[in-house]
Amino acid sequence: MTQERTYEGVVQADGTVVSNRDRNVRSTEETARLAWTFKPTFIGFAEAGLNQRRFEAVSSVDGIRRDSDGQRYRLGVGFGNTSQVLRGEASVGYGRQSPIDRRLAAADGMVIDANLAWRMSGLTAVLLRASTDIVETTSLSASGGVNRRGQVEVRHAFMRPLIGSAFAGFSTTSYQGIVINENLTEMGLGLEYYLAPEAVIYGRYQHTALRTNAQSGDWDADEVRVGLRIRR
C-alpha cells in the first residue's frame, strides 16, 4: 500500500510564501499476517509489517531529510465475526521508525490497536477505536514521536433513513529527542439521511482543541460540513 501526503505553502503577512515541501511524504507499507481459527467466533493472529517513508525535501529547520524505515510487530485476537451484538479486533505489539540519517535517533514504543462494535439494540450502536502510530516531525534534533489515539462514537437510527451520531476522541503525542508533548481533544455531532443505498446527505460539526507545552502552540478549531456523498 502506498500513500502520499502533501502540504501547500503558507502565505505570510508580507506576502512571501513559506514552502512546506519538507513535509511532503510518500509512505509505502508491506504487511503479512498469520491467523489461527480457534473457533468460528474467535481467532488469534500474529502480524509483521514494514514501511518506507520518503520526503520530498530536506528539513528547512536543520537541513536533515526525515526519510525513515519502520517495523511493526503485533499479536492480537479477533472475535464475534458472526455475532450481531459484539464484534471486533484488538492487538498489542512494538513499533520502531529508524531515520536513514544517523544524526537522528530512532523513535519507538508499544503499539496498541483496537476496533470494537457493540450493537446495544436494533437502533443504537457503540463504536470504540484505539490506534498507535509513530509520526514524524521537522522540529530541530527530533526524529519523531509516538501518537496514541482513542475514540468512542454512538450511532442511533431515529428513522430507517435518518442516522444521528455523537463522538469524542483524545490523542496524545510524545516526541523523542525534544521535550514536547501534545494532547488533542475532538468532539462532534453528525447527521446522515439516506436518499438511497448509494446516496447520503450529511451534516457534521466538530470541535478540536490542541494543548501542548510548546510555546504559543495551543489552538482551538470549529468545523461545520454539509454535503452529498455518493458511493458506487
- Judged by DSSP in three states, 169 sits in strand
- Judged by DSSP in three states, 21 sits in helix
The pLDDT of 107-120, averaged and rounded, is 93
Percentage with pLDDT > 70 across the chain: 100
Q: How far apart are CA 20 and CA 25, in angstroms?
A: 11
What is the tens place of the pLDDT at every residue in 191-229? 999 998 889 999 999 999 999 988 888 999 999 999 999
All cell numbers assigned to 51: 514501511
Q: How far apart are CA 216 and CA 202, in angstroms?
A: 35
**Residue 151 pLDDT level (bands cut at 50, 70, 90):** very high
pTM of the prediction? 0.81
Q: What is the pLDDT of residue 75?
A: 97
Q: What is the pLDDT of residue 178?
A: 79
Q: What is the pLDDT of residue 53?
A: 92
Bridge partners (DSSP) listed for residue 17: 11
**Residue 74 pLDDT level (bands cut at 50, 70, 90):** very high
The CATH number that domain 33-230 falls under is: 2.40.160.10
Q: How many CB atoms lie under 10 A from the CB of residue 74?
A: 21
Contacts of 153 (CB under 8 A, 6+ apart): 126, 127, 129, 165, 166, 167
Contacts of 224 (CB under 8 A, 6+ apart): 203, 204, 205
Strand order in the sheet with 25-39: 2-5, 25-39, 42-55, 68-79, 86-99, 107-119, 124-136, 144-159, 162-176, 181-196, 199-212, 219-230
Q: Which amino acid, 210?
A: L
Q: What is the pLDDT of residue 196?
A: 87
**Residue 127 pLDDT level (bands cut at 50, 70, 90):** very high
Q: Is 54 in contact with 65 (CB distance < 8 Å)?
A: no
- CA-nearest of 29, 215, 59, 210 to 142 is 59
Question: How is the chain split into domains, by residue range?
Answer: 33-230
